[in-house]
Chains A and B, each alone.
Chain A
Amino acid sequence: MNHASMLLRAFRDITVTRGWSLTQWETLIRQARRADVLASLAVRLREYGVLESAPPEARAHLDAATILAQAQERDIRREVLEITAAVEPTGVRPVLLKGAAYLMTGLPVGRGRLFADVDILVPHEHLADVEAALMLRGWVTTHHNAYDQRYYRRWMHELPPMRHLVRQTVLDVHHGILPLTARFRPNPALLLAAALPVTDHGDLRVLAPIDMILHSATHLLCNEEFSHGFRDLLDLDGLTRHFSAGEPQFWTRIARRAVELDLQRVWYYAMRYCARMLGTPIAPDATTFLDRGEPPLIGGMMDALFTRALEVDHPLAANAFSSAARRLLYLRGHWLRMPAHLLAYHLTVKAFRREEEEHASP
């Protein structure tokens, strides 16, 4: 039996799981757990009325993940309020990004999504104020190594992750959506200017729908590691379906915005893989806009790399090419993040550090 894409098959059309054998369900649960989408899978099964047909053995894991996702939802809601209160004295209205934004605005992709941390975007000129305000309320930086601090503060689009001393929660404070050194340069001022308030939470903002989708696409394609590649793909598919439904102007508007934000190529690839892997519906006339983002020559190779790397990273979904694809994309991710001389320096430091860490372990 071909295990390769159980997870993909289930998310493309959840009703196909109805006739699945116990062995197929076992593979699905393993792959969903690895991709961190067990609770999203439970949500999807329930939505289409097929949760009841899941065998009890699989159901136990789906229920466990649902309980965990509900707990994380409670925690994130509280955490978001804590963050808002901490930042309030600076007069900055933070923009929630990714999971926390989906949750606080009640988007379908937020249901059952598991979280590792909260991400916010603030204007670069207020970064120091925001960091100081957060430190006053118990958030401290996590990277104490001088190289790491410099890496984040000089080159990256975010502060080193901050951890709350008491609650141990992690917060990423961004001032952009791609590194300062990156090949593509979306202007954060454009994103901040278009951000919208969250209903019932006046102090909080989220990106405008189209920007939210483009950020999700950027996250999916410009990362250097793909451990959450499948979940990011689900996010992008869910957001695109949600916001394009009944919006005839959607495809033209997002294509224009992609140009404004220097994300034309990112948007091209994002839709290409979303449609190819999850069947995301794209309006027929949108392809002309999309094709302007098509890169010359390397399309075939990128397809081969991404369709491997965005699959769940699980032994039963891997082939001989999977880990090579991830390694090449790791290099590509870095390549997009910084110019060659910085990249060479950064990877050298990381290589030596890894060696040190291995020798230090017991």
Chain B
Amino acid sequence: MIVADLAGDALHDALKGPGMRVRTGSVVVCVRSSLPQIAAGLALHYANHALEPDDAFADFHVAVDPPTSMRRWLRPQVQFYFDGQVPFRPLPLDQAFPMLEWGLNWCVSAHCHQYLALHAAVVERDGRALLLPAPPGSGKSTLCAGLIARGWRLLSDELALIDASGMLVPMPRPVSLKNASIDVIRRFDERAMIGPVIHDTIKGSVAHMTPPAESVRRAMMRAAPALIVLPRYRAGAAATLVPLGKAQAFMELVRNAFNYHIHGESGFELLADLVQRCRCYEFEYQDLDEAAQVFNRLAGASA
């Protein structure tokens, strides 16, 4: 059963009652909410995700609801609850869905230390996974959205999870688009399902894009890393790939890691092994079409 199988009322009832157990790759999240934005966001962006029965094991129990304080009468707010606790400050009510997404990212990066977690987008083509590690503002999510529109499989636009054998663990969830990239993706792929734009968040204007159904269906298939590319968006730049030294690639991965310090020596070996196995590049681009062609050639060339 998938989320889309629930008729409108059933989805609301589940969210208000025992919660919906949604599978995102190897992690199952039980979500509860009384808010229509959350129901609409899940219906749109998680339509193809598997729904687990109530007696399945949920890794995390989260809720997104207005806080109970008196201030809700002055300015409507929303709070992210992690098993009854509040790890964050409340946000304005219209940011409910982004807050769910940010909260879910936190659930994984703060708890799933069975994986080495990097701040990176991961896509895959023909069994070869491409890692795009980058700080915010580098155009990583835009590039990721562009590549999946051209047929790459989405593993994650935010979290590269590396298991103990060095394989990448998929967690296909909505791709988060910011500011100008929202329109860039709309123009680039008219079939892209992009939700409402929410303004004035901590990251500017944000909107989410539904992950391809095929990527969600293959959410349990881990992928072997083959390419590491550090993207950088620069106005006026021609799409250019420059080989990157292994040592520097290693340092970039460490810089973008969430829990490298926790993994100690085995973390070092895992990342060293990863850069050994991958071809590493720096990449500058402005035009997404041009960028997609470069990556398609890159994927073909490594065959």
Contact = CB atoms under 8 A, between A and B. Distances in A.
Contact of B57 (A58, A65, A67, A362): A58
Contacts of A22: 55-57
B262 A30 contact: no
A57 B89 contact: no
Contacts of A61: 59, 111
A57 B59 contact: yes
B264 A74 contact: yes
A2 interface: no
B111 A71 contact: no
B83 A67 contact: no
Contacts of B71: 358
A71 B61 contact: no
Count chain A CB atoms within 10 A of each CB in B114, B261, B264 and give the residue with the most: B114
B84 interface: yes
A71 B116 CA distance: 13
B83 A60 contact: no
B245 to A, nearest CB: 28
B112 interface: yes
Given A64-B112, A361-B89, A71 B55 contact: no
A26 B83 contact: no
Interface string B44-88: 000000000001111101000000010100000000000111000
Contacts of A55: 57
A30 B264 contact: no
B113 interface: yes
A67 B113 contact: yes
Interface in A71-110: 71, 74
Contact-residue bracket for chain B = 20 to 34
Interface in A7-63: 21-23, 25-26, 30, 33-34, 55, 57-58, 60-61, 63
Contacts of B83: 30, 33-34, 314-315
Interface string B261-277: 11110000000000000
A68 interface: yes
B262 A68 contact: yes
Given A30-B83, A34-B83, A71 B57 contact: no
Contacts of A67: 113-114, 262-263
Count chain A CB atoms within 10 A of each CB in B56, B59, B69 and give the residue with the most: B59
B61 A30 contact: yes
Contacts of B113: 64-65, 67-68
Interface string B188-213: 00000000000000000000000000
A64 B114 contact: yes
A71 B59 contact: no
A70 interface: yes
Given A30-B83, A33-B83, A67-B113, A60 B59 contact: yes
B31 to A, nearest CB: 15
Contacts of A30: 61, 83
Contacts of B26: 60
Contacts of B261: 71
A152 B184 CA distance: 56
B262 to A, nearest CB: 4
Given A55-B57, A64-B113, A361-B89, A314 B84 contact: yes
B264 A23 contact: no
Contacts of A58: 57
Nearest to A72: B262
Contacts of B263: 67, 71
B262 A71 contact: yes
Interface in B16-55: 26, 28, 55
Contacts of A362: 89
A315 B19 CA distance: 15
A341 B26 CA distance: 56
Contacts of B55: 21-23
Contacts of B28: 57
Nearest to B27: A60
A25 B84 contact: no
B65 to A, nearest CB: 14
A71 B114 contact: no
A106 to B, nearest CB: 20
A71 B112 contact: no
A70 B264 contact: yes
Contacts of A26: 57-58
A61 B137 CA distance: 32
A23 B69 CA distance: 32
A15 to B, nearest CB: 21
B84 A315 contact: yes
Given A314-B83, A362-B89, A63 B114 contact: yes
Contact of A57 (B57, B85, B112): B57
Contacts of B112: 60, 64
Nearest to A70: B264
A67 B293 CA distance: 41
A43 to B, nearest CB: 16
Interface in B254-303: 261-264
The 9 closest A-B pairs by CB, nearest first: A57-B57, A64-B113, A71-B262, A64-B114, A67-B113, A315-B84, A63-B114, A22-B57, A26-B57
27 contacts: A22-B55, A23-B55, A23-B57, A25-B57, A30-B61, A33-B83, A33-B111, A34-B83, A55-B57, A57-B28, A57-B57, A57-B59, A58-B57, A60-B59, A60-B112, A63-B114, A64-B111, A64-B114, A67-B113, A68-B113, A71-B262, A71-B264, A314-B84, A315-B83, A315-B84, A358-B69, A361-B89
Given A58-B57, A361-B89, 20 more contacts: A22-B55, A22-B56, A22-B57, A23-B55, A26-B58, A30-B61, A33-B83, A60-B26, A60-B59, A60-B112, A60-B114, A61-B111, A64-B111, A64-B113, A64-B114, A67-B263, A71-B264, A74-B264, A315-B83, A358-B71
Interface of B: 26, 28, 55-59, 61, 69, 71, 83-85, 89, 111-114, 261-264
